[in-house]
Amino acid sequence: MNTTNNQPRHEARAVLWDMDGTLIDSIPYHLQAWLDVLRQINRTVEHQAWNQTAGMRNSEIIPLLFPDMSPAENAALDRAKEVRYRELIELQGVEWLPGAAEWIQRFKTRGWKQAIASSAPRENVVAIAHVLHLNGTFEAMISGADVQRGKPDPDIFLAAAQRLNVLPQHCLVIEDASAGIEAAHRAGMKAIGVLNTHAHLEADLVVKSLEELSWEIIENVMGVA
């Protein structure tokens, strides 16, 4: 049976990549950006507190860490932190995490559709794409600005699947954070967790590095005989 352009292709498969902590090690840049802007307003945060915020958006992080801040202060801090983060990325550059670039190419060779699905602001995704020369690498780039609710809600992955015109059950999510894994499962997708930033993840498969993956492993996760 033929399908129209807005009907999912039942045979198509897609891999949906988280960005921060999965494709790139951006944590030092984010942390430095937070430290720089917080220093300007005489605020500090214990390092352990940051562990609660992986995969969350600033609109969720700031009220959690600074419940006394007003909405206007939250918005100003949000903007300042992301501007500083992009400055650091552009000044210092950023590198792929082990295995990331290789697996992007392998999925492309196998004909899988690919998207970035990141909770980060759109400007951050664009900045990373520029620094890593990603033009044309992904068929979609979904940011936190494209959905109303961030991870662990499934919206961002469902939006990516829709943009790629692939059924959710034919999508594989690769993530480094618990919130992202939960979002993938709530979207009806399989998820591979990479232990780049956390010591434990509840995913369909957990690896220490993308270099541990093989096509046999991926097919097993997806339930391909």
Q: Is residue 185 within 8 Å of 163, Cβ to Cβ?
A: no
CB atoms under 10 Å from CB of 171, counted, come to 28
213 neighbors 99 (Cβ within 8 angstroms):
yes
How far apart CA 9 and CA 102 sit, in angstroms, is 26
* 18 a catalytic residue: yes
Q: Which of 18, 20, 25, 204 is catalytic?
A: 18
- Active-site positions read 18
